Amino acid sequence: MDLTANPIPPLPLDILQSQQLASQLPGNPKLSVFERAWRTVAQWPATDAVYYVQGFLTGARPQPQEHAWVELSDRRLDPSLPPGNPQKFGYFTCRRFTVAQVKAAIAEAQEDYPEDEALPIYDPAPYAYYGDLFLGGVAYQQAWDAAIAHQR
């Protein structure tokens, strides 16, 4: 399975469940979109195929923004659903991770850079910056280009 490609057709956003998930997470407004998505994935039943996804969100702000969400086999969940019309949002995948992959990446980041946030997960070098936080390779460039084109 290609864990970088956007699902074709795109997975529908489950707005109601996204809003419910957002209300169930701790009320700490300082939680990043990455942490909120990870906490949702980490709490999901192990029997379901669930992915932590990093990418770009369009339609909520004038420019694409770095974002993270959850993907199941049949729908997308956004525990950081921003204000606006979710039907106009575009989600562009950079990387998709299994629970085990996220746990391994967090452990490595905490060991190598204990003073930094473990999320988002960066691609190995060589890479470039996309937005303010993402360091990524080809998949990030493709997602960024698609998000910019969608934003126009």
Pairing of strands 90-97, 51-58: antiparallel
Pairing of strands 65-71, 128-130: unpaired
User: Taking Cα atoms as reference points, which of 12, 146, 144, 15 lies closest to residue 85?
Assistant: 15
Would you state the pLDDT for residue 148? 92
The pLDDT tens digits of the residues spanning 98-151 come to 999 999 999 999 999 889 888 988 877 666 666 666 677 888 888 989 999 988
Q: For residues 27-46, give the mean pLDDT.
A: 88
CA-CA distances (angstroms) from residue 64 to 21, 24, 73, 90, 151? Answer: 23, 26, 25, 9, 7
Contact 72, 13 (CB under 8 A): no
pTM of the model: 0.88
User: Residue 55's pLDDT band (boundaries 50, 70, 90)?
Assistant: very high
The pLDDT tens digits of the residues spanning 59-86 come to 999 999 999 999 999 999 999 999 899 9
